[in-house]
Amino acid sequence: MYNLIGAGLIVIGGGIGLGQIGGKAMESIARQPEAAGKIQTAMIIIGALLEGLAFGALILGA
């Protein structure tokens, strides 16, 4: 039960983080479309790091 609440919290946190990353990346791409490739790569890397964090927490909790 507590596991599930914890998982929910992790997902909320991760979702906020991913939203921030994605939103900012979109903004930057809109501002500088010529740098889209680099921004995308950086976005994916940071997203992956965040994902690792969230999954780590989920696995430790499960």
Q: Angle at the Cα of 13 (from 15 to 53), degrees rounded to 5?
A: 95
Contact 39/29 with Cβ under 8 angstroms?
A: yes
Regarding 1 and contact with other proteins (CB under 8 A), the answer is: no
Residue selected from 11, 23, 36, 55 as contacting other proteins according to rule CB under 8 A: 55
Q: Which residues contact 15 (CB under 8 A, 6 or more apart)?
A: none
Regarding 30 and contact with other proteins (CB under 8 A), the answer is: no
Regarding 16 and contact with other proteins (CB under 8 A), the answer is: no
Q: Which residues here bind other proteins, judged by CB under 8 A?
A: 41, 44-45, 48-49, 51-53, 55-56, 58-62
